Structure 1
Amino acid sequence: MKVWELALKVYLKKDIPMEEGQIEVTKIIDNCLTKDEKLLNFHSNNQFKNYTFSSFYPIKKNKIYLAGEIYTVTIRTVDESLVKHFQKFLDNENSEILKALTLEIKTISRKYIERIYSITPVVAKFDNGYWRTNESIEIFEERLKGNLIKKYNDFTKQKINEEFDLFTFMRFDNQKPIATKYKEIKIIGDKITLNIAENKLAQELAYFAIGTGLLEMNGRGFGFVNYKWL
């Protein structure tokens, strides 16, 4: 398994508020996926997407991305077929808001990971709404670990032993829930830091999470994480 990182340079045609950045990146990625019938079905189906992405960088202090400027969007994936597709089509994408310019691709080295931490909010979708309202932190931790294991098992076509420690410490980095605009609603999430355990499975899944994101809606730009090596 490899994690690929794609740095996409984009030119912004109009000013947009920071909270709409993920929406605009989602649009051009979705449009890129429609270029292939197999990937169109993949995009439409309810399945793990195995890619994750950031919003525009650099972040603006006034929380407005400015027209006429060039930003970088980071996309990561563990799916080599997606890399090849993005390499072929993504830097030609164009929308009302932005124009893709260039795409640079590299792989992320495998080293011992000390921690991973949210760049975009992680989202846990419960039937009764935002998890803090009705669920315990233990339930949230179980969902976090269980979701990552399910994605890993689905991608690798195996079933790993779930009796292991994924992290030794978890910290919430937001003082209040983070609302992100999505379609006509706002999605509520959190930013977290996980100190990764040093056992083999924890390290394997942390590396996998760098390429797929944590928890849910990764194909909409949620759960994108960065990392610090030991």
Structure 2
Amino acid sequence: MKYFELICTVFIKVDIEFINSFDVISKFINFSMLKNDKLKDFHQQKGYKYYSFGGFYPLEKDKLYKKGRVYKFTLRSLDERFIDSLSTLLKENINNHFLQIVETNKKIVKQFFITELYSVTPVIVSLPRQKGEKQMFWSIKDDIFILQKQLQNNLLKKYKSFYEKDLEPTQNFIQLFEIKNQKPQSIYFTKKINDKKEQKVRLFGNKFKIIVNEDEISQKLAFTALACGLGERQSYGGGFCLWN
């Protein structure tokens, strides 16, 4: 296994508040994908996209990314062709109101042993629901075992979807984990209601430190989480992870 990483150096054209930054990056990536016929079809298909991205860094103390300054963000994927195509398309997207990509640096990362995972963006996990019920997201008051099961099942599906192989774990890939927040963490994005109106949407998640089991399947799932994100809503910035 291996994943492919782009370190994107970004020139900020206008002040961007932290609360809006994931929406800015997400829309920039999506718009860039629409400039390529294959990526446009991929973007519009239902199913897993096999990529994840983190926020701008370094983070300013006042949580405002300043006009005229340079920041970076990281994008990862299991799909090298996707990364190579997107590297070019991101740099060609010059008419964006918010930012301009100055440089992209590609890195190939082969599978390595992972002791711990840290989610640096909120991990979004949908709770099971009956038809017609409103979608709810896992929070601290909910069952821990549901969370562990949902996280594992999500990674198993991503792995199977990309590699077209089933993994058959005998245990959950999580040995221990710690919730790093006392109240829900949020990702905000806007969606169009019509040609003149947009609606702000808030996704609720949490940040975790996860001790990973040492067996082969657990390690494959943890590596998949690094590449494709932990939990759901990666196209909005959910579940981007670092490791130890």
TM-score tier by shorter-chain length is: over 0.9
Unaligned runs of 5+ in 2: 128-133, 191-199
Is residue 153 of structure 1 aligned with residue 160 of structure 2? yes
Q: Alignment partner for residue 181 of structure 1, among 184, 188, 201?
A: 188
Secondary structure of 1:23's partner? helix
Residues 212 and 222 in structure 2, CA contact (< 8 A), matched pair in contact too: yes
Amino acid at match of 1:157: E
Q: Partners of 2:236 and 2:188 in 1: how far apart? A: 11
Residues 53 and 221 in structure 1, CA contact (< 8 A), matched pair in contact too: yes
Query: Which deviates the most, 20-29 or 106-115?
Result: 106-115
The structure-2 alpha-carbon separation of the partners of 1:119 and 1:133, relative to structure 1 and needing over 3 Å to count, comes to closer
Q: Which residue does 1:197 correspond to in 2?
A: 213
Residues 26 and 237 in structure 2, CA contact (< 8 A), matched pair in contact too: yes
Moved over 6 A (4+): none
Q: Partners of 1:132 and 1:16 in 2: how far apart? A: 28
1:164-175 aligned at under 5 Å gives the runs: 164-175=171-182
Amino acid at match of 1:96: H
How many residues align? The count is 228
Is residue 104 of structure 1 aligned with residue 120 of structure 2? no
Q: Partners of 1:133 and 1:111 in 2: how far apart? A: 31
Query: How far has the Cα of 1:153 moved from its partner?
Result: 0.8
The structure-2 alpha-carbon separation of the partners of 1:109 and 1:159, relative to structure 1 and needing over 3 Å to count, comes to closer
Amino acid at match of 1:15: D
Secondary structure of 2:84's partner? helix
Q: Partners of 2:186 and 2:28 in 1: how far apart? A: 22
1:1-230 aligned at under 5 Å gives the runs: 1-94=1-94, 95-126=96-127, 127-132=134-139, 135-183=142-190, 184-228=200-244
Amino acid at match of 1:196: V
Q: Partners of 1:66 and 1:188 in 2: how far apart? A: 26
Query: How far has the Cα of 1:134 moved from its partner?
Result: 7.4
State the identity as a percent: 29
Q: 1:136-162: CA deviations, max 9, x gaps?
A: 111111101110111111111011113
RMSD: 1.4
Q: Partners of 2:37 and 2:141 in 1: how far apart? A: 41
Query: How far has the Cα of 1:191 moved from its partner?
Result: 0.4
Q: Partners of 1:118 and 1:133 in 2: how far apart? A: 16
Q: Partners of 1:100 and 1:189 in 2: how far apart? A: 28
Amino acid at match of 2:206: D
Q: 1:65-87: CA deviations, max 9, x gaps?
A: 11010000100110111012023
Amino acid at match of 1:198: E
Q: Partners of 1:195 and 1:156 in 2: how far apart? A: 25
Q: Partners of 1:162 and 1:186 in 2: how far apart? A: 33
Residues 8 and 91 in structure 1, CA contact (< 8 A), matched pair in contact too: no
Query: Which deviates the most, 50-59 or 36-45?
Result: 36-45
Secondary structure of 1:132's partner? coil
Q: TM-score, normalised by structure 1?
A: 0.94
Secondary structure of 1:185's partner? strand
Query: How far has the Cα of 1:51 moved from its partner?
Result: 0.4
Q: 1:36-77: CA deviations, max 9, x gaps?
A: 222112111221010000110000111111101000010011
